[in-house]
A and B are shown apart, each in its own frame.
Chain A
Amino acid sequence: MSVRLTFEPFDPGALLAEFARGRSEVGAVATFTGIARAEAGQTSILELEAYPGFTEREIEKIAMQAKARFGLIDLQVLHRIGQIAPGEPIVFVATAATHRRGAFEACDFLMDYLKSRAPFWKKEHGPGGARWIEPRAQDHADVARWDKETSR
């Protein structure tokens, strides 16, 4: 299990190849890559702030939950911090399970958590100035789905 933050751009394809390499008992690997949006020119740079140490540990707690809940064999979370240009990957999540359902669902679960509950603060810089982005109602609704589905 790996949870990391990075200031550097990353290549999701290379991460997937590395994550999937040499696994003979894993029937399914699912990945999600989040990409910074330009918002039709309204965002020139996205700035992501974390609380180093605390942020990784909070994500690790949820990653442990995901591992147990979906029966994962392994997982990886890599999240950019600092300044991110539109078009660059901002987050990469990979999950490995024996069968596809656990891998898909764990990926979805982890992303819902990362969007609204992980310790990150996101600021959009654009021609009209800068603004802090807070989770939308949809993001809260997305993560709340998993609170309801407790009897898996």
Chain B
Amino acid sequence: MLLFGRLSDVAGWRERQIDSPFLSALRVRLASDDPALGEALEGPGVQVAVDQMIVRGDTALNAGAEVAFLPPMSGG
């Protein structure tokens, strides 16, 4: 899984391998390991991409799936 923007600052890491069959279970696991990160992941405007596709709600994760947490975006 991947963290972008301020989420990687909150966690202190950018990329990690985690075994989890569902996105919801992954969230629970991350929040129990690091409550501050858990809270940041639930923050306003944070989106999730699984294998580079935006998903809403829960989803099953295949082995090797790439899960990315995307905080509010700002370019230009």
Contacts and interface: CB of A to CB of B under 8 A. Distances in A.
> What DSSP secondary structure best describes chain B's contact surface?
loop
Contact of B75 (A53, A79, A123, A132): A79
A135 B4 CA distance: 16
Nearest to A53: B52
A148 to B, nearest CB: 21
A121 B74 contact: yes
A57 B52 contact: yes
Interface string B1-15: 010111001000000
Interface in A69-95: 79, 90-91
A122 B68 contact: no
A49 B76 contact: no
A104 B51 CA distance: 35
Given A49-B4, A121-B5, A121-B6, A91 B72 contact: no
A67 B76 CA distance: 20
A68 to B, nearest CB: 21
Contacts of A49: 4-5
Kindly state the interface size class of chain B when it binds its partner.
10 to 19
A43 interface: no
A34 interface: yes
A34 B76 CA distance: 6
A149 to B, nearest CB: 20
Contacts of A90: 76
Contact of A118 (B6, B45, B75): B75
B6 A119 contact: no
A4 to B, nearest CB: 13
A51 B75 contact: no
Given A51-B2, A132-B71, A134-B71, 14 more contacts: A34-B76, A48-B75, A51-B52, A51-B68, A51-B70, A57-B52, A90-B76, A114-B75, A115-B75, A115-B76, A119-B73, A132-B6, A134-B45, A139-B74
